Amino acid sequence: MHLLMNCLAAWQQQARAVLLVGLCAGGSLAAARAQGAPTVAAARPPRAYTRAAHLMGSHFTFTAVSSDDSLAWRALRAGMRETGRIDRLFSYWDSTSQVVKINRMAGIRPVVVDQEVYDLIARTLKISQLSGGAFDITFASGDKIYQFDKTEHASLPDSATVRNSVRRIGWQKVRLDPAVHSVYLPEKGMRINLAGILQGYGVRRASEIMKKMGIAGGLLNGSGDVYCWGKQADGSGWRIAIGDPARPQSVSSWLTVSDMAVVTAGNYEQYFTVAGKYYGHIINPHTGYPATGLRSVTIICPDVELADALDDAVFVLGPQVGLAMINRLKGVDATVITDDGQTLVSKGMQLNSYHSAAAATVAKTPVTR
């Protein structure tokens, strides 16, 4: 428990406003005008401003609530620029990125990286420890033996092929040197990929910049990694919908939040089937097989970066063990949808289910592996 809380502590760092003018105030204003006194223009009501872009290989939508048009657009541009900068810095594909440099030097020598890169990698390793390796950025070391083409496959690869595919995976192998902030992958063929946390990190950094610029309310959505703060322009909270894996483009449940991240991972967009059983793109780094048992995982907590990593971890751990882990973390909640369509929630989760969705069941009993 102490380890779990210490690990979590590392992270624990649209619409109108209505202006009511009474009769008395109206009379005072008329009197002031009659006397030639200067008048103050009424404050403009806040509005929602939205900008979209393709970043990190995904669709991002940023919304800022402000009564200042110029400020809103400047903040949106700044947030998008920051997300693009992070994409280039940590890209798994861009030959100039520091992640690519680390991977190229695997089994050869350590690579000195920017403090920002070092720190994010260090945080991912803490989540690996927290989750027992269910979240592991060295998953990129695995061989690509599956094709997630949404079709029926005759069978899974043979067991020997699967075992061999994960032989180089292991977060414990990553060597960090805090003195020079270097990263070393000790085996040739090892690779890291921060895709499981990068969108959350990009959204977090963008929101921090926009807040500093004076945006008191906003919602940033990086392909399902959502973070919102403040209020909508009408003063209400942000309503976030959770998709229904069994009925694409429909909603299974929703919740109203503010100053909170809502991050969802699902296996219903990238998958294949064998004998009618779904196998999604999230691989269990321990076994090499696609994680099974869940169709969707949604994490709710104040830190979108942390939530982005935890959804994959819960997916790998499965409904019982995954929710047991969430139940041990302060300020973190989750809802999951199982392969058979059940909706389960962590003990602190307040979820609004649509009539078409099955009633949520609270998973209260900790389960250990």
Give the residue-averaged pLDDT of 345-367. Answer: 58
pLDDT value of position 1: 44
Percentage, residues of the chain above pLDDT 90: 75
For 180-204, write each residue's pLDDT tens digit. 999 999 999 999 999 999 999 999 9
Range from 12-26, 29-43, 124-138, 346-360 carrying the lowest mean pLDDT:
12-26
Q: What would the mean pLDDT of 72-95 be, rounded to a whole number?
A: 96
| Res. 162: pLDDT tops 90 | yes
Report the pLDDT value the prediction gives residue 147, as an integer from 0 to 100.
94
Confidence of residue 19 (pLDDT cuts 50, 70, 90): very low
pLDDT value of residue 357: 40
Class of domain 2-15+47-66+216-362: alpha beta
130, pLDDT greater than 70: yes
| Pair 326, 333: CB distance under 8 Å | yes
Q: What pLDDT, in 10s, does the model give residues 266-311? A: 887 889 999 988 899 999 999 999 999 999 999 999 999 999 999 9
Whether the Cβ atoms of residue 255 and residue 300 lie closer than 8 Å to each other: yes
For residue 364, pLDDT beyond 50: no
How many Å from the N-terminal Cα to the C-terminal Cα in the chain?
A: 15
Q: How far is CA 337 from CA 65, 132, 311, 324, 360, in A?
A: 32, 22, 12, 15, 9
Instruction: Work out the burial of residue 166: count CB atoms within 10 Å of its CB; fewer than 13 is exposed, 13-18 middle, 19 or more buried.
Output: buried
Residue 135, pLDDT above cutoff 60: yes
Work out the number of other CB atoms within 10 angstroms of the CB of residue 368.
7
pLDDT score recorded for residue 266: 86
What is the C-alpha to C-alpha distance for residues 194 and 138, in angstroms, rounded to an integer? 9
- Find out whether 119 is annotated in a ligand binding site: no
Predicted confidence (pLDDT) at residue 327 exceeds the cutoff of 50:
yes
What is the residue-averaged pLDDT of the chain?
Answer: 86
What sign does the dihedral 291-296-300-302 (CA atoms) show? positive
What percent of the chain shows pLDDT beyond 70?
84
Q: What is the pTM of this model?
A: 0.84
Alpha helices (H) along 18-113 = 23-34, 69-90, 98-104
Angle between helices 115-130 and 69-90 (to 10 degrees): 80
Which uninterrupted H or E stretch holds 264? strand 260-266
Domain map (residue ranges) of the chain: 2-15+47-66+216-362
Distance between CA 155 and CA 195 in Å, rounded? 28
pLDDT recorded at residue 353: 75
Sheet order of strands, 182-184 included? 111-112, 182-184, 175-177
pLDDT tens digit sequence for 169-183: 999 999 999 999 999
Question: Residue 308 annotated as binding?
Answer: yes
pLDDT in tens, 59-83: 999 999 999 999 999 999 999 999 9
- In the chain, DSSP finds a helix count (H) and a strand count (E) of 9, 18
Judge whether 15 and 234 are in contact, CB under 8 Å: yes
Does 369 score more than 50 pLDDT? no
The pLDDT of residue 141: 96
Residues 278/293, Cβ–Cβ less than 8 Å: no
